[in-house]
Structure 1
């Protein structure tokens, strides 16, 4: 936006992704949607065969395609809309007067009669009305989204992760040796049972050492090689309950003194005061148990940090309020590196969890928020199942790691793209007579 001919207020639109008022956000979404389509045309990527809208933020792209010559019927036939979150804040709403001021004659007739758009412009409802196909990013998320957008069929396409990006170097080496062809076909990870204990344990020890070094250099916290390392790294939204494990410090000490250690990482939205408080709570809890249970917080939550954590911890903890987690790709990355998940049955985990085999569930898939119930389950499973398995030794843990890796074969980016291709192929079909 910093073109010499732009007014100062327009030049500043690209300064910050999350910030500003509705006026700024609306104009940013105009740039993303309308501007994005016009850029594609300007660089010669034209004509477009179809349109895939991820969340409502880019909905104006659909309106621009009408301006470029698509009919409403053609737009419907060639557009897929993906909804990612049940969190209301993730679905932008703007006053109609402001929308009309920005996009003017791009609005179709009777737009204010669309379900969910009568009082204000809901970008997600508008996208669903324009798109012919709608999907969500896990089976559970599709069910939740169907209650948000009544009368709309929502197809589940569970997210996946790029296997080459999110596998640590030591794990890549053993996959190369024992799972030939996995780089081109990550479905081969399903045969992780071929990996011998010694090779798997050696690779995991290397990845764990990398994380211990990173934590020490970054925070000064000394992690112990013989203790179970529990990782938690994600955006610090309040529904994710990052501080849940510190709910009862005396019980946590009783369970985990000199047995467990934690590594946290993540960031809160700049305007999410609740998320910022979660981070403060973690530091407060860490200070109170640090003599018995080391707790580190990695502030630089970059992709490199994410890889070091998902590859270097022993357990991946996730305890959101069900069903608020749309998918949860960090857990997929952990599983791919042989790290079992320990999670509320939310997002992708209901599709993947084999309790005690490839990880553990917290609770019994309850949909109401009850922090006490969930932390009781968390402590109980940690004490009576996870630490018991850890104490048995490396052979028992290797079985868990292989099962986690095999599970990850169903949650790769390659599988996800193949699912989306089924929709993309419909874009080029001739309109039925």
Structure 2
């Protein structure tokens, strides 16, 4: 049996004595380990880094994705192409642990790999794989693609994470752990625990749940019949599951079931907490939903030279280092797009997961107004987009490609591919404005703006997610005024697009070009206000105090 000394390179601090297993479908720990898609993974990665720094008794449980999410490359015409390339990692340790889990009433073999703490300075991370010789091709494919588009495969992936992860804890002798579900993907672990304890109350003592999705329709759900057929319920029948959880209807909502199984739950910002409590309030038997605002790890994300200049109050050093970081980003722009950007020109970046509600093209809503903005010689601008659509979200892919095609003739606009940790960091360090314009109440937290502020990029944002807890308009950021809630989606888009471009024209650009002292003050205030309040050490500490306490 693997001992605690085999797992940890450090002795866990006694004040974090409760053993915790953090279940997540994705972890963005390092660029080299491509087992993440976006914000959920970035959050999980920072959590593991801070758990390492604080010496918490926490381990991660995830899946070793053979092809990762996907590699974002360009087709022959320059538009986006999703490539699936097999990954190999020499830095993962073979634990020698193998076991089986039931999937579709058949045994599927699981092999366990370990990312040791000192490799990337993270808490220990166990990764499960079904890509082993003992399995047939269908079973092997369970761990091939993160968020596989096939429904049965997606369910099997949840079984691998939830049931497989819970079984692993038994094998490791850490079955006294608190089971932390980061989103509902690992829901099946609750049925595994129920099979052991025969009591929802006993499961509640062992499970906490973090929800990230701010609308009921966006939470994963599947038909009971298919879930039972896939062995998701670990021996329970559909009727028994409905009876145990007090549910009805043809489909099981993962989030609702998790709220009924968990002893505690949290949303990921204060605003998201309000949204979540309102969203689920009509359901009996759910646990309390508090909020712990997401955060990011400064040691990983912040440029050391920029941070040193900030701490020493070296304004010249701040300005000089920012230009150096912009130059580094612009080398990639030139390499990918054949366009030469100027480090003296304000640079606006929109970069995150491509999804319709995030409105990557809102800045282009009025095309003629957009052209006037990017052709302005008095206040020149440069604009960069980047981000990954879900590979089967053809609407988002079309939007990504449309932005490429529309901006290709414009020398000061660029769209970059390959949005992973490395490019994300380059964009945050090299941008002056970090643009965030989702539809209101749809961004549960949105942590990218935190790491941007750490590197001297000023947030220009709708007041959604974490932003209301941070924002002081015109002091540490710029706010896009949201349209009234009662208006139609189309009218909201129109009003908010107008306010976005007017904020740029009338506030952001004049400040940047005409009042450098004011601009520098906003940059410094943003960096000062984002940490430690939105640093993941605070978040990891709060999880132990609020969610992991008995």
TM-score higher than 0.5: yes
- TM-score scaled to structure 2, two decimals? 0.70
Matches within 5 A, 1:92-131: 92-103=220-231, 104-107=233-236, 110-113=240-243, 114=245, 117-131=248-262
CA distance in 1: counterparts of 2:234 and 2:530, whole angstroms: 47
Indicate which of 381, 395, 400 corresponds to 1:260: 381
Q: Per-residue displacement from partner, 1:107-148 (whole Å, max 9, x unpaired)?
A: 387432546653211111111111111111111111111222
Matches within 5 A, 1:401-412: 401-409=523-531, 410-412=533-535
Q: 1:97 to 1:344 in 2, by over 3 A?
A: same
Post-superposition shift, 1:88?
Answer: 5.0
Q: Is the 8 A contact 2:192 2:234 kept in 1?
A: no
More helix by share: 1
Indicate which of 366, 378, 402 corresponds to 2:500: 378
Q: 1:408 to 1:72 in 2, by over 3 A?
A: same
Matched, 1:418 2:418: no
CA distance in 1: counterparts of 2:402 and 2:424, whole angstroms: 21
Matched, 1:286 2:407: yes
CA distance in 2: counterparts of 1:230 and 1:91, whole angstroms: 32
Question: For residue 209 of structure 2, what is the aligned residue in structure 1?
Answer: 81
Indicate which of 433, 436, 444 corresponds to 1:315: 433
Matches within 5 A, 1:19-418: 19-42=148-171, 44-69=172-197, 71-87=199-215, 90-103=218-231, 104-107=233-236, 110-113=240-243, 114=245, 117-151=248-282, 152=286, 153-174=288-309, 178=311, 195-257=313-375, 258=377, 259-287=380-408, 290-291=410-411, 294-364=412-482, 366-367=484-485, 369=489, 370-409=492-531, 410-418=533-541
Post-superposition shift, 1:417?
Answer: 0.9
CA distance in 2: counterparts of 1:124 and 1:9, whole angstroms: 27
Q: 1:105 to 1:40 in 2, by over 3 A?
A: closer
Secondary structure of 2:537's counterpart equals helix
Post-superposition shift, 1:15?
Answer: 1.4
Instruction: Tell me whether 150-159 or 322-331 shows the greater mean CA deviation.
Output: 150-159
Q: Is the 8 A contact 2:152 2:230 kept in 1?
A: no
Post-superposition shift, 1:215?
Answer: 1.4
Post-superposition shift, 1:106?
Answer: 4.0
* Matched residue count: 406
Instruction: Tell me whether 366-375 or 157-166 shows the greater mean CA deviation.
Output: 366-375
Post-superposition shift, 1:70?
Answer: 7.2
- TM-score scaled to structure 1, two decimals? 0.88
More strand by share: 2
Q: 1:30 to 1:105 in 2, by over 3 A?
A: closer
Q: Is the 8 A contact 1:243 1:281 kept in 2?
A: no
Question: For residue 146 of structure 2, what is the aligned residue in structure 1?
Answer: 17
CA distance in 2: counterparts of 1:117 and 1:406, whole angstroms: 49
Post-superposition shift, 1:168?
Answer: 2.0
Secondary structure of 2:518's counterpart equals helix
Q: Which runs of 5+ in 2 are unaligned?
A: 1-129
Q: Is the 8 A contact 1:170 1:204 kept in 2?
A: no
Q: Which runs of 5+ in 1 are unaligned?
A: 179-193
CA distance in 2: counterparts of 1:116 and 1:209, whole angstroms: 56
Q: 1:55 to 1:115 in 2, by over 3 A?
A: farther
CA distance in 1: counterparts of 2:193 and 2:152, whole angstroms: 23
